[in-house]
Each structure stands twice: as structure tokens, then as C-alpha cells.
Structure 1
Amino acid sequence: MSNKPIYVELAIDASLDELWKYTQSPELHEQWDLRFSEIRYLPKANESDNQKFVYRTRIGFGLRIEGTGESAVIMKNNRKDRLSTLAFASDQRLSLIRQGGGFWKYEQRQPGQPVTFSTLYDYRTRFGPAGRLFDRWLFRPLFGFATAWSFDRLRLWLEERVPPSVTAERALIHYCSVMLLLLLWCFEGIVPKLLFPESGEMALLGGTGWFAGAEREAVRLLGLGEVAFGVAAAILHRKRWAHLAQLAALLLLTIPALAFNSGIMAEPFNPLTLLLPMAGLCMAAYWTARQLPDARRCRRRPAANPRKARRRSNEIDL
């Protein structure tokens, strides 16, 4: 059974010429597309020849994938719609992709309306059945996600003038903050409250006098609540109010402990040493939650006639 081709579609509020420039110029294309670290056009013998190029993708640990490609341009409807076909291949044994093809399509129904920018591509893999399984369950979903995420990063660049380097830094800070907050909420809920409540949590709760005789059960419920709260906040990380809610919850958990047991401030690790870094992470996640690329904005299935689209993507070979 063959894997489905990758399809991504997004409406971008930009002129057709501007979108064309940012997707067809190698020095601009490589800035927003996660799939490529470097794209270099090769000289043409004749102006009418297809454009050949080489590409490189860094995959970490000093390794990179290299390959070659060839693109052609088709103008339609008096230049209102455009189609850029693509073929690519890699002879590098490390590359899962052996060769493939696809297209970029630009459609603008009326002047001044957003341009519908879409791509469909497919490829053949190396390493036999193992390569196909790896591609089906891991590589292809990630590759499709990277394509959609990159499309929305391009949209932010053209619509809101946020450079790709800024969105990359913002996304890194945001997701690191969200993950650290999730880990801290889960640690605080599981380790000192569910696993080792006698280590001090029961004494802190007992000092308030609110749960006389039921401190253990209250600590367990509080631990479960912190884990659930951390997971919910991570799921809602794009909602800026979710990070303000975390900040409010931290204050509600910390102030009673300090009010009823002020002597705890003399200890090297006290509620304040946890509150301050978590509050900082909340604010970092809050500030970076705006203008984040979101792959979910993209359509991932062709609107009609997917068999024809699949056939077109496979017609292009090097």
C-alpha cells in the first residue's frame, strides 16, 4: 500500500507577485522553509530551460542531506494563476528520500483577494519495507507538519511583516517555556504530593488549619489537580489567558503557605524559589504566544479530484 502524497494549502493576504518572489527566490525561500537549510540555483544554458538547483538540509550532529532538483513554471489565466512544478532527488545513502516530484500552485480569483498557495508532492524512499514503514508512521507526518508550519511562517512574514528568524526564536522560547512549565507542574503534583506527602506538603497544608484530619487526602487531590492543570495549560498554550491563569494559580498556592508558615522562608528551597522561576516562564510563554506559526491553519487535503493531483505529482521525474 503506497503512502498518500503530502498536500498543504493556505490563503495568504499578499499580492501574487510578492508571494511568487518570496517562494521562487532561493535566498528568501530558504529563510522560511524548515525543509531546506540552503538552496542554490545553477546557471542556465538558455533562458527557456528549466531551472536546476541543489539543496542542503542540516539534520543535526554535523550531518546534512544534499540533493538536486529541477523546476519549471507554467503561467495561466493571463498570469493570475501560476504553477511551479518540481522534481527532486538525492543520491546520498543517508537520505530516506530517493526521488520525488510535485508542484506549487498560486491562485487568485480577483485582484486584491488573498492568494491560495498550495503544494502537493510525493516521493520514493530507500531502505525497502523498513523505509516505507518509517516514512508512513514518522517521517511523512513530520515532513507534512514542517511544510504546513513553514507555510504559516511565510504568511506571518508577508501579512504581519514578522521575519522568519523572529518567529523561529519566538517559537523556541515559547515551546521551551511551555514544556518546562508542564514538567514543573507534573513534578510538583506527583513527587512531593502523591509519592512523598510526608516530606513537608502535609505539614504545610496542616499549618493552614483548613483540612484538620484530612491533610493526606487534601494533598493527594491537590497533586492530581496540579498535574491536570499543567496538562490543560500546555494544551491551551496558544491562549494567552492560560498563562495568566497559571500565574494566578501559583500565587494562590504560594501565598497561603507563606502566610501561615513564614519561617519556611529561611529554608534554602521554599515556595518562593519555585514561584519566581515559574512566574518568569509564564510571562515568557505569554509574551511569545502571539504571532506563532500554526500548522493547523493550513488545509491538508485537496478540495476535489485527489487522484488527478496524485497523478500530476508523480509525472515529474529527474
Structure 2
Amino acid sequence: MIAPGKPIYVELPIRTNMEALWMHTQSPKLHREWDLRFSDIEYLPRRDGEARQRFLYRTRIGFGLSVSGTGVSRSYPAGPGEERLSTLRFGSEQPISLIREGGGYWRYKPEADGIVFITRYDYRTRFGEPGVLFDRLLFRPLFGWATAWSFDALRIWLERRIPPAATIRLALVHYISLLLLASLWFCQGLVPKLLFPDSGDAALLAATGWFPAGAERSWTAALGIAEIALAGLLLARHRDKRSYALQSLLLVVLTGAALIARPGLLSEPFGPLTLGAAMLGLGLVAAWTAGDLPSARRCRRHPRAR
């Protein structure tokens, strides 16, 4: 029998006041702005004297499909400077929903320079052991990452006044630029230098006069490996602007060497100058958008030891 996954836990300190954090998490209109897990949240009217808040939620999963469900929350606001708590039960009757039912809480813990925002929740799945296995291997890690990423998007909203919609657009621009840039470095290292060195790159290195005669192929292969390694560095250190400075320097050196060795390359429509300028532009865009990206790694993912 496959054991179910551990409960999802996320903790993040946010430099804000209690009222602002409470409003941005308890208002459905504001909540759905920053939380990747929900496309829509709608509160249902409360009955007379009812302390609990019933609500409907919906999450788009692509291809025109969505998963909807119902939930019940209860808030426990406290006085100034005291910890607050909000509990939650949720579930879905849709057959396509992996989550059958679950529950958890939000804690708001005041500290000297802000509020520590904490959540812990768990759920039961459908589809028997295949559902448990799919949840443990893929869905639960992705759901936990989405929770942590959303918490950091909320932090950026409250601390830096950047709305989540703008943050998401910046993230899309950053990752598209990054993937294109890394792909170009990888292809430039693999195809003309490792797979087809006789296509012209070895001859171009020989024309620079920087390398001993007869060693051009070895240096071409070494340069190809270095360019592939640079692609990996950009992906691994994409938040570090020094990575983009390094790739820009290498671009200038390689493009300049190619044009000095063969000035006729300037007349080619897709020559080194055109490619180098495009890669330099992608690097500038990726570096410019790297500063305010949410990161799930900023969150603590396990409870503190007592």
C-alpha cells in the first residue's frame, strides 16, 4: 500500500501590518489575485448568526476544463499585536478532481518587523492507489510549490507594491527570454562546434591566429563545451545578474573575434553580429526582469522544531 504524502506546509515572513495581510488574504477579490491555486473564489451569503463562511472555488486546469468545489472557512481575529487564525475545510464532488476533501489553516504571527504568514493543509485523493501515487510523485510537490510561489507573490505585492498580475507578466517575460537565450547558447555549443566542427567554426578560430596550428578542432570542441556549460549556468543562476554580465562579455569577445578574422561576415543576413545582438538583447531583458521574481525557495517548507 502506498503511503500518502506529507501535509503541505509553507511559512514566510512579510514586512507588512496585520490589517493589510488580513485584508489581502480574507477578501475573495484580493485572494484570487495572488494565489495560483484558484482562478475564482466566491463567498456565499451567511445565514443569520452563522460564524462560518461558505464559499465556492474554481481552478482552470487548461484545455477549457476547470475543477470547482466548495469550502467552509472560519476566522479567529484577535486584538492588536496578537496572533490570528483562519481554518478551512474544502472538497470537490467533480469526478475529474484529484482532491476529494481536505482542510488546513492560515496563521498570522506578529513579529517585530512584520507578520509571519503560515499555512498547513492536507487532503484525501480519488482514484485509489494510482491517485495516491500520482499525488505523491507530481501533484503534491507542484501544489506545494504553487502555494509557496503564491506566498512570495503576495509578499512582493505588500512590500514592493507590485501587483501579482504585473509580477506574473514579468515572470513570463523573464523565463521566455531566459529559455531562448540558454537554448541559443546550447545550440551554438552543440551543433557547429561539437557535431559539425567542419561547418566553419574551426576555420574561423584558425583565422583569428589565437591558437596553435592544427589545434583548432580541439579548441573548437572546448569552446562548444564552455558554451553548453554557460547555458546551464544561466538556467541555474538566472536570478544572479553576474551570469548575464559574463555571457555579455563572452558574446562581445566571440563576435568581435569573428568579425576581425572575417570582416565579410558583416554582410551576411544572419551572421555573428545579428545573432550576437539578439542574444545580448535577450540577456538584458532577462537580467532586467530578474529582480522582482517570486521564488518558492524563500519560504520555509517544514515546521520549525519545537
1:31 aligns to what? 33
SS in 1 for 2:77: strand
Q: Deviations over 1:140-183 (max 9, x none)?
A: 10100000000000000001101101110011111111111111
2:295 aligns to what? 294
Note the C-alpha offset of 1:271.
0.7
5+ residue gaps, structure 1: 306-318
Q: Does residue 82 of structure 1 match 2:80?
A: no
**Normalised TM-score (structure 1):** 0.92
2:273 aligns to what? 272
1:101 aligns to what? 103
Note the C-alpha offset of 1:78.
6.2
Note the C-alpha offset of 1:273.
2.1
2:197 aligns to what? 197
C-alpha separation between the residues in 2 aligned to 1:120 and 1:304?
15
C-alpha separation between the residues in 2 aligned to 1:165 and 1:28?
11
Identity of aligned residues (%): 54
Considering only aligned residues, what root-mean-square deviation do their CA atoms show, in Å? Answer: 1.3
SS in 1 for 2:97: coil
Q: Deviations over 1:232-290 (max 9, x none)?
A: 12211101221122111111111000011011222332111211211111011011011
Note the C-alpha offset of 1:76.
4.6
Q: How does 1:1-318 map onto structure 2 within 5 Å? A: 1-76=3-78, 80-109=82-111, 113-211=113-211, 212-304=213-305
C-alpha separation between the residues in 2 aligned to 1:56 and 1:231?
37
Question: Cα 1:49–1:250, aligned 2, differ >3 Å: closer, same or farther?
Answer: same
Deviates more, 1:79-88 or 1:144-153: 79-88
Note the C-alpha offset of 1:109.
4.2
**Normalised TM-score (structure 2):** 0.96
Note the C-alpha offset of 1:48.
3.2
Q: Deviations over 1:16-48 (max 9, x none)?
A: 111000000000000000000100000011243
Alpha carbons 1:189, 1:223 under 8 Å: kept: yes
C-alpha separation between the residues in 2 aligned to 1:114 and 1:105?
13
Q: Match of 1:286, as an amino acid?
A: A
Alpha carbons 2:11, 2:117 under 8 Å: kept: yes
Alpha carbons 2:193, 2:223 under 8 Å: kept: yes
Alpha carbons 2:107, 2:118 under 8 Å: kept: yes
1:308 aligns to what? none
Note the C-alpha offset of 1:194.
0.2
Aligned length: 303
C-alpha separation between the residues in 2 aligned to 1:266 and 1:250?
19
SS in 2 for 1:105: strand
Deviates more, 1:41-50 or 1:231-240: 41-50
C-alpha separation between the residues in 2 aligned to 1:24 and 1:295?
22
Question: Cα 1:61–1:256, aligned 2, differ >3 Å: closer, same or farther?
Answer: same
SS in 1 for 2:37: coil
Alpha carbons 2:208, 2:261 under 8 Å: kept: yes
Alpha carbons 1:145, 1:295 under 8 Å: kept: yes
5+ residue gaps, structure 2: none
Alpha carbons 1:39, 1:55 under 8 Å: kept: yes
SS in 1 for 2:265: helix
C-alpha separation between the residues in 2 aligned to 1:234 and 1:2?
32
C-alpha separation between the residues in 1 aligned to 2:246 and 2:237?
11
Alpha carbons 1:16, 1:80 under 8 Å: kept: no
Alpha carbons 2:84, 2:109 under 8 Å: kept: yes
Q: Match of 2:117, as an amino acid?
A: F
